[in-house]
Amino acid sequence: MQADPAPELTLSPDGRVHPARHLASPNCDDYPQGAAPTLLVLHNISLPPNEYGGPGVEQLFGNTLNPDEHPYYAGIAHLRVSAHFFIRRDGELVQFVPVNRRAWHAGVSAYCGRERCNDFSLGVEMEGSDFEPFTDAQYATLNRLASLLARELPLSAVTGHQYIAPGRKTDPGPCFEWDRLAGTLPKWLGEAETGA
């Protein structure tokens, strides 16, 4: 029996992608006046580190992470961060911030000489780590999402957090297979700045 094809993703006027699970994060604000996202930034995250499937990421982005629940959480529970999207290991798409609002995902960063990447980017967190391959289901969801966003928004490039915050960040890491995103967007940072 053949599996049902994944449903087509659509973008509603309020900046939400459907179908996705929507969990509103308070860690967002408006883009600077006249700005629109032109860059897609890929990250990886797992909470606790290298453990998958739990509620830690959703709790962190919702400011409800209990610092007593895991030793690692004590050092991060105070953070006020978010991403627009989170793609779980099974390919589930979770949206925390509408695409017409600025998520707090990139921190101190620069892309092609332009600083403050949060001001002109969308953030996608892949459930994972630097040390383990991502899943086929994640790449399938990421490609569907990136294709939709490239069609509906003025996106012109995709990059990794490691390239916009070198020395500070390492994600999505060496296990991310950039060629599995090829063709979704016109270029990625490896071509734009490193000649890869």
Residues marked as catalytic: 125
Paired with 102 in beta bridges are 29
SS3 at position 73: helix
DSSP 34: T
> Which of 196, 194, 7 minimizes the C-alpha distance to 91?
7
In this structure, are residues 155 and 186 in contact, taking their beta carbons and an 8 Å threshold? no
SS3 at position 156: coil
C-alpha torsion 119→121→126→129, nearest 10? -60
